[in-house]
Chains A and B, each alone.
Chain A
Amino acid sequence: MSELTWVDNQGILFDNTVSHKIRRLADTTEATRDVSEGMRVALKINTAEQGYPYGLRPGFVRVLADIAWKATQKRPIICDGQRLVDYWKRSRGNNFLETAGEAGYTNETLGGHFSINGGFSGDEGELFPCGENSDLGGVEVGTAVCRSDALWVLSHVTLHPLFGISGALLNGGFDCLSGRARTRILDGLNPYLFNGQRISSEDRKEFQLRALESHCAVRTAMEDRVYYVNYLWDITPQPEYYPFSEAPILNNLGFVASHDPVALDAATYALIREHAPDAARIGNMNFEEVLGYAEKVGLGSLGESPEHLS
Chain B
Amino acid sequence: MTEYKSEPTKWTEMSGPVQGGRDTYQTKSWNPPKHTWGPYTETGPAKVWFAEANATNWTESMICKAKDLFYEAKLNECFDKGDEVAIKIHYGEYNRTAILRPEYIAAIVEEVKACGGHPYVVNDTTLSYHTFNNMATSQYQMEGAIRHGYTDATFGCPVLIADGFSGEDDYRVDLPEGLILKETYIGRAIAEADAMIVLGHARGHSITMYGGVLKQLGIGCQSKRGKYITHLAHWGDPHDAIGWPKFTDQCPGTACKFHKMCDDSCPRNAHKVFEHGKQWFPEKCRLCYSCQVTCIFSGMTGVTFEENYFPNAMIAHGDAALGAMKCFEKGKVGFINHAIDVVPECDCFPWAGLAICPDVGLFAGKDLIAVEMATLDAIDNAPVSPGSVADEKGVKQGEDKFRLVNGFSPRITMSAGEKIGLGTMEYDLVNYEPVLTPENAQKWQVRGAGHKPTTVRLRETFHRHDLATEVMPFKRTEFNKDWVWNEWKKYDPFKGETPA
**Chain A interface (Cβ within 8 Å of chain B)?**
40, 75, 77, 79, 82-83, 85-87, 89, 91-94, 97-98, 101, 106-108, 113, 115-124, 127, 140, 142-144, 147, 179-181, 183-184, 186-190, 197-200, 203
Shortest C-beta distance, B336 to chain A (Å), equals 20
Interface centre among A85, A113, A120, A200 (most CB of B within 10 A): A120
Do A143 and B165 touch (CB < 8 A)?
yes
Do A188 and B17 touch (CB < 8 A)?
no
Do A94 and B84 touch (CB < 8 A)?
yes
Residues of B within 8 A of A181 (CB): 17
A115-B138, A181-B17, A198-B4 known; A85-B9 Cβ under 8 A: yes
Q: Which of B6, B16, B120, B142 contacts A107 (CB 8 A)?
A: B142
Closest residue on chain A to residue B11 by CB atoms: A183
A86-B10, A92-B84, A106-B152 known; A120-B160 Cβ under 8 A: yes
CA distance A300 to B355 in the complex (A): 61
For residue B5, CB closer than 8 A to chain A, the reply is yes
Residues of A within 8 A of B166 (CB): 119, 124, 143, 147
CA distance A107 to B143 in the complex (A): 9
Residues of A within 8 A of B162 (CB): 120
Residues of A within 8 A of B362 (CB): none
Closest residue on chain B to residue A148 by CB atoms: B139
Do B139 and A203 touch (CB < 8 A)?
no
- Which segment of B187-195, B260-268, B322-330, B438-446 sits at the interface? B187-195
CA distance A94 to B192 in the complex (A): 11
Residues of A within 8 A of B164 (CB): 116, 118-121, 124, 143
CA distance A79 to B166 in the complex (A): 13
Q: Which of A93, A101, A199 contacts B189 (CB 8 A)?
A: A93
Interface class of chain B by DSSP: loop
Do B187 and A113 touch (CB < 8 A)?
no
Do B158 and A97 touch (CB < 8 A)?
yes
- Name the 7 nearest CB pairs between A and B, nearest first: A119-B164, A119-B169, A94-B120, A124-B164, A97-B158, A124-B169, A120-B189
Number of A-B contacts (CB under 8 A): 135
Interface string of B123-146 (1 = CB under 8 A from A): 000000000000001110011001
**Chain B interface (Cβ within 8 Å of chain A)?**
1-2, 4-12, 14, 16-18, 84, 118, 120, 137-139, 142-143, 146, 151-153, 157-158, 160-166, 168-169, 187-189, 192
Q: Which of B143, B158, B188, B189 contacts A113 (CB 8 A)?
A: B143
A113-B142, A120-B192, A200-B2 known; A140-B10 Cβ under 8 A: no
Residues of B within 8 A of A118 (CB): 164-165, 169
Q: Which of B4, B9, B17, B160 contacts A140 (CB 8 A)?
A: B17
Closest residue on chain B to residue A108 by CB atoms: B153
CA distance A124 to B137 in the complex (A): 13
CA distance A79 to B16 in the complex (A): 25
Do B165 and A183 touch (CB < 8 A)?
no
A120-B189, A120-B192 known; A115-B165 Cβ under 8 A: yes
Do B160 and A180 touch (CB < 8 A)?
no
Residues of B within 8 A of A106 (CB): 152-153
Interface centre among B8, B84, B157 (most CB of A within 10 A): B8
Interface centre among B1, B11, B120 (most CB of A within 10 A): B11
Residues of A within 8 A of B7 (CB): 188
**Given A77-B139, A107-B152, 13 more contacts at CB 8 Å?**
A83-B10, A94-B160, A98-B158, A107-B142, A113-B138, A118-B169, A120-B164, A143-B165, A181-B17, A183-B11, A188-B5, A198-B4, A203-B1
CA distance A35 to B158 in the complex (A): 31
Residues of B within 8 A of A121 (CB): 164, 169, 188, 192
Residues of A within 8 A of B143 (CB): 75, 113
Do B10 and A85 touch (CB < 8 A)?
yes
Closest residue on chain B to residue A198 by CB atoms: B4
Do A119 and B168 touch (CB < 8 A)?
yes
Residues of B within 8 A of A200 (CB): 2
CA distance A183 to B120 in the complex (A): 26
Q: List 21 A-B contacts (CB under 8 A).
A: A79-B165, A85-B8, A85-B9, A87-B9, A97-B160, A106-B153, A107-B151, A119-B188, A120-B187, A120-B189, A121-B188, A122-B10, A124-B165, A124-B166, A144-B138, A147-B137, A147-B166, A179-B10, A190-B8, A200-B2, A203-B5
Shortest C-beta distance, A69 to chain B (Å), equals 12
Closest residue on chain A to residue B158 by CB atoms: A97
Do B14 and A183 touch (CB < 8 A)?
yes
Do B11 and A179 touch (CB < 8 A)?
yes
CA distance A119 to B161 in the complex (A): 8
CA distance A203 to B192 in the complex (A): 34
CA distance A77 to B6 in the complex (A): 34
A121-B164, A124-B169 known; A91-B1 Cβ under 8 A: no
CA distance A180 to B164 in the complex (A): 15
Interface centre among B2, B120, B139, B158 (most CB of A within 10 A): B139
Do A180 and B11 touch (CB < 8 A)?
yes
A120-B162, A127-B17, A147-B166 known; A183-B189 Cβ under 8 A: no
Residues of A within 8 A of B137 (CB): 147
A92-B84, A101-B152 known; A119-B163 Cβ under 8 A: yes
Q: Which of A116, A184, A190, A198 contacts B165 (CB 8 A)?
A: A116
Residues of A within 8 A of B187 (CB): 120
Residues of A within 8 A of B160 (CB): 93-94, 97, 116, 120
CA distance A140 to B20 in the complex (A): 13
CA distance A197 to B5 in the complex (A): 8
A91-B10, A92-B84, A106-B152 known; A180-B18 Cβ under 8 A: yes
Closest residue on chain A to residue B187 by CB atoms: A120
CA distance A120 to B84 in the complex (A): 13
CA distance A180 to B118 in the complex (A): 26
Shortest C-beta distance, B178 to chain A (Å), equals 25
CA distance A16 to B386 in the complex (A): 63
Residues of A within 8 A of B188 (CB): 119-121
Do B10 and A124 touch (CB < 8 A)?
no
Q: Which of B8, B139, B152 contacts A186 (CB 8 A)?
A: B8
CA distance A82 to B157 in the complex (A): 18
CA distance A231 to B294 in the complex (A): 47
Do A189 and B5 touch (CB < 8 A)?
yes
Residues of A within 8 A of B151 (CB): 107-108
Residues of B within 8 A of A189 (CB): 5
Closest residue on chain B to residue A189 by CB atoms: B5
